[in-house]
C-alpha cells in the first residue's frame, strides 16, 4: 500500500493518475473539510482522513503502508497556512509515524533552492522538512523540483488570469530577468513513480528541471501568446507587487496572485538541463508543447467564475 499526501493538489492528482497505471494500491491522506475532495476521476484510492499535525490520525493512516509519497505542503498559490507548521512540523509528524510503521520507502517532493537560511518562509520550511527526513532511519528520496506547469498550475494558469484581469499593461517584478526552468507536471509524476523502484535514488537528494531556461519575461510572453492575450509588460518594483498580492489574497475568494509565488520568483531557480535524461532516462517535455490548457478558456471569465465557485 502506498500512502500519498497532498493527493488533491495540482501535483498530487497527476501523481495519483500516474501511480494508478502501475497497479499500485493507493491510499491518499485528506484533511477533514466541508468541500468534497478534488481527486482525479477514474482513479481508485483508499482515503484516510487526517491533518498532518494529527499524530493519532497519521499513525492510523500508516497501517499496512510500505511506501510514502509526501507531496503535501504550502505551494506557490494563495494560502494562509504557515509553512513552519505545514511543511516543517507536518513532515516531522509524518516521518515519525512512518518510522514506527516500518515504512520501506519515503519520497519527499521539495523545491529547488531549499535552504534553512533562506529569507523566504516557504523555502526555509522545505529545507527543515528535508532535514527531518535525512535525520530519520527511513530509506528516503528527496526530489527538488523546478517550477511546474500544466492545467490549473500556479504559474501559467495564474499568469493567464492576472493578464486577463489587467488593462493594457501587465506588471512583472523588476526587469523580469529571474531565470526559471519549467518542468511539466506529468514528467515529475513519472519521475516520482519510477523513484519507488530505483535503488540508486535511495538516500539521495536530486534536483529536477525542464529542458530549457527561460527568464520570467520570456515566460510571460509565451503565456500571452498561448492565451491570445496582448498586454504591455511593465517592470515594477517587487514591494509594490507584493502589496498588491497581499491585498488580493485578503479580498478575493480566489486570488491568482500570491506572496509565495513572488518569493519564488525573487531569485533564479535552475539546475542542470540534463537531470531527467541522466537520472531517469526521460526526455523532458518542452513548455511550449504543453500549453493547450491556456488556449481552451476565456481567462477573464475563469477568474470571475472562481470568485463564486468552490472549484
CATH of the domain at 167: 3.90.25
Does 146 score more than 60 pLDDT? yes
- Is 245 part of any domain? yes
Residue with cell 486577463: 164
- Is 278 part of any domain? no
| HEC sequence for the chain | CEEEECCCCHHHHHHHHHHHCCCCCEEEEECCCCCCCCCCCCCCCEEEECCCCCHHHHHHHCCCCCEEEECCCCCCCCCCCCHHHHHHHHHHHHHHHHHHHCCCEEEEEEECCCCCCCCCHHHHHHHHHHHHHHCCCCCEEEEEECCEECCCCCCHHHHHHHHHHCCCEEEEEECCCCEECCEEHHHHHHHHHHHCCCHHHCCEEEEECCCCCEEHHHHHHHHHHHHCCCCEEEEECHHHHHHHHHHHHHHCCCCCCCHHHHHHCCCCECCCCCHHHHHHCCCCCCHHHCCHHHHCCCHHHHHHHHCCCCC
How do beta strands 232-236 and 169-173 pair? parallel
Boundaries of domain holding 24: 2-146+184-208
Mean pLDDT check: name the lowest of 73-82, 114-123, 297-306.
Answer: 73-82
Same domain, yes or no, for 111 and 19? yes
pLDDT (tens digit per residue) in 61-73: 999 999 999 998 8
Mean pLDDT check: name the lowest of 33-47, 137-151, 232-246.
Answer: 33-47
Same domain, yes or no, for 197 and 247? no
- Is 275 part of any domain? no
Same domain, yes or no, for 6 and 120? yes
| pLDDT-based confidence at residue 16 (cuts at 50, 70, 90) | very high
Same domain, yes or no, for 62 and 93? yes
- CA 198 to CA 276: how far, in whole Å? 14
Q: Is 81 or 11 the better-scoring residue by pLDDT?
A: 11
- CA 278 to CA 281: how far, in whole Å? 6
- Is 279 part of any domain? no
Same domain, yes or no, for 90 and 234? no
Please tell me the total count of domains within the chain: 2
**In 3-state terms, what secondary structure has residue 108?**
strand
Same domain, yes or no, for 196 and 140? yes
Same domain, yes or no, for 47 and 189? yes
- Is 124 part of any domain? yes
What's the average model confidence in pLDDT over 6-27? 92
- Is 190 part of any domain? yes
- Is 92 part of any domain? yes
Instruction: Identify any residues that bridge with 144 across adjacent strands, giving them in sequence order.
Output: 110, 207
- Is 290 part of any domain? yes
Mean pLDDT check: name the lowest of 66-75, 175-184, 268-277.
Answer: 66-75
Does 311 score more than 60 pLDDT? no
Same domain, yes or no, for 131 and 14? yes
Same domain, yes or no, for 77 and 125? yes
Same domain, yes or no, for 109 and 43? yes
CATH of the domain at 104: 3.40.50.720
Same domain, yes or no, for 62 and 167? no
Q: DSSP secondary-structure letter at 174?
A: B
Same domain, yes or no, for 71 and 164? no
Amino acid at each position: 500500500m502506498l500512502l500519498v499526501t497532498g493527493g488533491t493538489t495540482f501535483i498530487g492528482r497527476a501523481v495519483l493518475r500516474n501511480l494508478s497505471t502501475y497497479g499500485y494500491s493507493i491510499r491518499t491522506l485528506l484533511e477533514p473539510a466541508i468541500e468534497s475532495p478534488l481527486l482525479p476521476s477514474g482513479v481508485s484510492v483508499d482515503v484516510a482522513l487526517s491533518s498532518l499535525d494529527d499524530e493519532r490520525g497519521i499513525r492510523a493512516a500508516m497501517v499496512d503502508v510500505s511506501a510514502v509519497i509526501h507531496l503535501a505542503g504550502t505551494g506557490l498559490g494563495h494560502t494562509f497556512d504557515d509553512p513552519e507548521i505545514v511543511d516543517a512540523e507536518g513532515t516531522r509528524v509524518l516521518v515519525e509515524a512512518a518510522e514506527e510503521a516500518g515504512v520501506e520507502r519515503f519520497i519527499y517532493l521539495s523545491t529547488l533552492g531549499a535552504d534553512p537560511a533562506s529569507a523566504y518562509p516557504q523555502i526555509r520550511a522545505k529545507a527543515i522538512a528535508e532535514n527531518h527526513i535525512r535525520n530519520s532511519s527511513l530509506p528516503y528520496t528527496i526530489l527538488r523540483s523546478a517550477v511546474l506547469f500544466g492545467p490549473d498550475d500556479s504559474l501559467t494558469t495564474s499568469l493567464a488570469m492576472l493578464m486577463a484581469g489587467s488593462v493594457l499593461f501587465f506588471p512583472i517584478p523588476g526587469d523580469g530577468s529571474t531565470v526559471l526552468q519549467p518542468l511539466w507536471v506529468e514528467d515529475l509524476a513519472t519521475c516520482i513513480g519510477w523513484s519507488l523502484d530505483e535503488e540508486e535514488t535511495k538516500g539521495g537528494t536530486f534536483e529536477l528541471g525542464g529542458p530549457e531556461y527561460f527568464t520570467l519575461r520570456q515566460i510571460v510572453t509565451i503565456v500571452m501568446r498561448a492565451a491570445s492575450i496582448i498586454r504591455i509588460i511593465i517592470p515594477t518594483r517587487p514591494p509594490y507587487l507584493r502589496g498588491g498580492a497581499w491585498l488580493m489574497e485578503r479580498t478575493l475568494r480566489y486570488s491568482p496572485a500570491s506572496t509565495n509565488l513572488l518569493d519564488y520568483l525573487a531569485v533564479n531557480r535552475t539546475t542542470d538541463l540534463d537531470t531527467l535524461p541522466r537520472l531517469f532516462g526521460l526526455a523532458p517535455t518542452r513548455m511550449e508543447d504543453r500549453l493547450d490548457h491556456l488556449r481552451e478558456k476565456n481567462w477573464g471569465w475563469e477568474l470571475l467564475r472562481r470568485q463564486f465557485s468552490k472549484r
